[in-house]
Amino acid sequence: MTVRMDNRFAALKAEGRPALVTYFMGGDPDFDTSLGIMKALPGAGADIIELGMPFSDPMADGPVIQMAGQRALKAGQTLARTLDLAREFRKGDNETPVVMMGYYNPIYVYGVEKFLDDALAAGIDGLIIVDLPPEMDDELCIPALKKGINFIRLATPTTDDKRLPAVLKNTSGFVYYVSMTGITGSALPDPSLVSGAVNRIKGHTGLPVCVGFGVKTADHAKAIGAAADGVVVGTAIVAQIAGSLTKDGAAGPDTVASVATLVKGLATGVRAARLVAAE
């Protein structure tokens, strides 16, 4: 569904601040705990939720998210169970946009049409599929757009002006600018370079531009949020979850609460970023 996403960005624009986009891995460390985390995110200040779909071979992810995926798979997470998470979450929240993020193969094996129908029914608003560049749009992007699910594309520092129009062509919801070349969890990029890149993308599209990769603290969120329509935080949240687990990888007593605390801090940063005007 696309309306929740549009409404959310319209409301943020009225508020004059960037979105806080939070990523966590579905099923990490187990189904129930990750449902608890998901439910706690909006209250802690998350504006958009990225729901990670675990994959055995996450080629663009650093060790923190790789291990989260392995924990989830070990606990029995599947694509069907990740859709269950979204469905459960929607019972209590019909406002917060939920974007599923991961790799293509589990969706391909599940069946593209069936997946899109089930995702729509589960209240999914968008998809970010790391290994589907525009050259592969016929696979999932076009079918998703036809069903009314946003297909959010990644743009990177290697996406030059010649290529940007192709990347943006079938993008909807927002553009996810990956602020550096590298795997998830790498160091924070220079905020001044980020604002230049965001402006470059905005020269080609009216869509909101959210920036990720390397944001770990409220100060980072504030700095990046000054230049962008949204700040994506992933690895820091997943690392917080990992740090809260017991020795054998089970949920700790404060796993959900500690994530909420981290997100509250990030939300403060985002709210301090105060865009003068969204345009």
Partner 1 sequence: MNQTPKPNSFRSGPDEDGRFGIFGGRFVAETLMPLILDLQGEWEKAKNDPTFQQELAELGAHYIGRPSPLYFAERLTEHLGGARIYFKREELNHTGSHKINNCIGQILLAKRMGKTRIIAETGAGQHGVASATVAARFGFPCVVYMGATDVERQAPNVFRMKLLGAEVKPVTAGNGTLKDAMNEALRDWVTNVENTYYLIGTAAGPHPYPELVRDFQSVIGKEAREQILEAEGRLPDMVVAAVGGGSNAIGIFHPFLDDEGVQIVGVEAGGRGLQGVEHCASITAGSPGVLHGNRTYLLQDHDGQILEGHSVSAGLDYPGIGPEHSWLHDIGRAEYVPIMDQEALDAFQVLTRLEGIIPALEPSHALAEVIKRAPKMRKDQIILMNLSGRGDKDIFTVAKILGMDM
Catalytic residue list contains 15: no
Based on the residue annotation, tell me whether 50 is a catalytic residue of this protein. yes
Distance of closest approach, residue 136 Cβ to partner 1, in angstroms? 6
24 or 176: CB nearest partner 1: 176
Question: 76: left (phi > 0), else alpha (psi -120 to 50), else beta?
Answer: left
Whole-number minimum distance, CB 216 to partner 1, in Å? 18
Among residues 30, 61, 125, 137, which one is catalytic? 61
Could you tell me the smallest distance in angstroms from the CB atom of residue 227 to partner 1?
A: 20
User: Which of 186/261 has CB closer to partner 1?
Assistant: 186
Closer CB to partner 1, 10 or 60, in the complex: 60
Cβ nearer to partner 1, comparing 11 with 59: 59
Q: Which residues bind partner 1 (CB under 8 A)?
A: 55-62, 66, 73, 78-80, 103-110, 130-136, 153-160, 163, 167, 178, 181-183, 186
**What's the CA gap between 183 and 273, in Å, rounded?**
26
Pairing, β 154-155 against β 175-178: parallel
Between 78 and 268, CB nearer to partner 1: 78
Rounded to a whole number of angstroms, the minimum distance from the CB of residue 157 to partner 1 is: 8
Q: Are 125 and 149 in contact (CB under 8 A)?
A: yes
> Minimal distance in Å, beta carbon 34 to partner 1?
17
Structure tokens that stand for 252 in this block: 């700790």
SS in 3 state form for the chain?
Answer: CCHHHHHHHHHHHHHCCCEEEEEEECCCCCHHHHHHHHHHHHHHCCCEEEEECCCCCCCCCCHHHHHHHHHHHHCCCCHHHHHHHHHHHHCCCCCCCEEEEECHHHHHHHCHHHHHHHHHHCCCCEEEECCCCHHHCCCCHHHHHHHCCEECCEECCCCCCCCHHHHHHCCCCCEEEECCCCCCCCCCCCHHHHHHHHHHHHCCCCCCEEEECCCCCHHHHHHHHCCCCEEEECHHHHHHHHHCCCCCCCCCCCHHHHHHHHHHHHHHHHHHHCCCCCC
Taking the complex as a whole, the smallest distance from the CB of residue 180 to partner 1 amounts, in Å, to 9
Q: Considering the complex, state which of residue 133 and residue 252 has its C-beta at the smaller distance from partner 1.
A: 133
The one catalytic residue among 28, 30, 47, 50? 50
Active site amino acids: 50, 61
